[in-house]
Amino acid sequence: MGVIAVVGTLDSKGAEHAFVADQIRRHGHSVLLIDVGTLDPPTIVPDISREQVAAAGQIDLSALTAERDRGRCVAAMAESLPVLLMQLLVQRRIDGVISLGGSSGTAIASSGMRGLPTGFPRLMVSTMASGNVAPYLGTQDILLMPSIVDVAGLNRVSRGVFSRAAAAICGMVSLESSDSDDRPVIAASMFGNTTECLGHAIPLLESAGYEVLVFHATGAGGRTMESLIASGLVDGVLDITTTELADELAGGVLSAGPDRLTAAATAGVPQIVVPGCLDMINFGEPTTIPEKYQDRLFYRHNPQVTLMRTSAAESVVLGKQLAEKINRSSGPVSVLLPLRGISVIGAEGGPFHDAAADAALFTALSQSLRHDVRVIDVDCTINDAQFAQACVAELLRILGWSETEDGD
């Protein structure tokens, strides 16, 4: 059976975490109680003290607790807990993590959980499990469970919630993965406007012996892909859809932030980069579009999504930004340009077809790249089978693939 870390502010929520710990033991697992409280003494005895947690982050907790500055104490624990949990994982002392909390407890525990690798069992019972939970989850597969009532005592509702949470983390820890797939991994980005391209590319990569993980380029998808690449789980990148850069530039709703297109470059992971869907910026319903854009060209993608065509001037900026990110690559990288359209609606005859804007994008990108970055012009649209084939062939080339490597 496994060892489950029960992390909590044991000064204010000791009884609640003790209850969860008892439930876990009833399911046959062991418990490691970790105290991240700061203001008052713990009401139950932890296995790892708050001082030990702080020390993992090289923080002197006594100086902070003497000031009784709650905000600084919470920040100190949120900074130190990820270090401690990773140490415990490396030492093989924990197999899962669970915590209960309000806003501060959730901030501390989720910070620690985000530092653990994808797939590691993590469950957060929280009063904050509604609305915008992105700050707590980040790009990680943390199970966030509403506490229903406040984490403030044991009652008929909270006992039921906590019992189910304990059972859930025990089930997650007990589950033995049946996935024996050891194929090398390719991360790929996709949008509705580039679906056909990936539809052509994925079978080709799979036939070459690769597993393809596809990420929807909607902001969260791009951030998650970057996180997975940075974790070391990815062998190659097929970044067909870099559209999130356009939203970052113009204030669209699907930005992945400034770190998009940086993980592969930093880690030296071989990558193919395509300016896919950089001809569009995403907004919500028409009433949500900023006033300064009212005279621009729009396309109603669906009732909730309105697309705005990037201008030639914006395309120049995007080309330079894309080149700047690609130029940081420490590993092999190639750029492929679909000369007849970078999206479904940007192809000839489509509502976003603008040959001048596309040319401005391609020129700015090509002229700003390092001289050793290979640029391949393909005379077709991004969704033609010919383009997908060219992307896959180039990716396999820079990966050093040969036909004898697919196991046949």
- What is the pTM (predicted TM-score) of this model? 0.78
129 with 224, same domain? no
CB distance 150 to 178 below 8 Å: no
Residue at which a domain ends, from 150, 174, 198? 174
25: domain CATH number? 3.40.50.12020
Residue 44 forms part of a structural domain: yes
What is the pLDDT tens value at each position of the chain, 408 positions in all? 899 999 999 999 999 999 999 999 999 999 999 999 988 999 999 999 999 999 999 998 887 877 778 888 999 999 999 999 999 999 999 999 999 999 999 999 999 999 998 889 999 999 999 888 989 998 899 999 999 999 999 999 999 999 999 999 999 999 865 556 789 999 999 999 999 999 999 999 999 999 999 999 999 999 999 999 998 999 999 999 999 999 999 999 999 999 999 999 999 999 999 999 999 999 999 999 999 999 999 999 998 999 999 999 999 999 999 999 999 999 999 999 999 999 999 999 999 999 999 999 999 999 999 999 999 999 999 999 999 999 999 999 999 986 655 544
Residue 398: CATH number of its domain = 3.40.50.12030
Q: Looking at the structure, do residues 168 and 224 belong to the same domain, yes or no?
A: no
**113-136: b or e for each residue (b if 16 or more CB lie within 10 Å)?**
bbbbeeebbbbbbbbbbeeebeeb
Q: Does 107 map to a domain? A: yes
Q: What is the largest CA-CA distance in the chain?
A: 70
Q: Quick one: three-class SS letters along the chain?
A: CCEEEEEECCCCCHHHHHHHHHHHHHCCCEEEEEECCCCCCCCCCCCECHHHHHHHCCCCHHHHHHHCCHHHHHHHHHHHHHHHHHHHHHCCCCCEEEEEECHHHHHHHHHHHHCCCCCCCEEEEECCCCCCCHHHHCCCCCEEEECCCCCCCCCHHHHHHHHHHHHHHHHHHHCCCCCCCCCCEEEEEECHHHHHHHHHHHHHHHHCCCEEEEEECCCHHHHHHHHHHHCCCCCEEEECECCHHHHHHHCCCCCCCCCCCCHHHHHCCCEEECECCCCEEEECCHHHCCHHHCCCCEEEEECCEEEEECCHHHHHHHHHHHHHHHCCCCCCEEEEEECCCCCCCCCCCCCCCCHHHHHHHHHHHHHHCCCCCEEEEECCCCCCHHHHHHHHHHHHHHHCCCHHHHCC
Count of structural domains within the chain: 2
Residue 193: inside a domain: yes
Q: Are residues 166 and 206 in the same domain?
A: no
The answer to whether residue 34 is domain-embedded is yes
Neighbours of 320 (CB within 10 A): 15
Residues 63 and 166 in one domain: yes
Domain identity same for 95 and 229 = no
Q: Are residues 239 and 294 in the same domain?
A: yes
**Is 73 in the same domain as 119?**
yes
Assigned domain for 179 exists: no
Q: Which of 174, 201, 232 is the last residue of a domain?
A: 174
Residue at 258 is within a domain: yes
From CA 378, how far away is CA 392, in angstroms rounded?
13
- Same domain as 215, residue 136: no
Rounded Cα–Cα distance for residues 261 and 257 (Å)? 10
Alpha carbon distance, N-terminus to C-terminus of the chain: 39
pLDDT at position 211: 96
Tokens of 26: 């009833």
Q: Are residues 269 and 168 in the same domain?
A: no
Cβ contacts of 341 within 8 Å, gap of 6 or more: 347, 348, 350, 353, 358, 381, 382, 383
Same domain, 48 and 157: yes
Pairwise CA distance, residues 376 & 338, whole Å:
9
Does 196 share its domain with 168? no
Distance, in Å, from the CA atom of 129 to the CA atom of 365, rounded to the nearest integer, reads: 42
Domain boundary among 174, 207, 234: 174
Kindly state whether residue 92 falls inside one of the protein's structural domains: yes
Q: Which domain holds residue 194?
A: 185-406
Q: Are residues 198 and 309 in the same domain?
A: yes
Asked if residue 393 is part of any domain, the answer here is yes
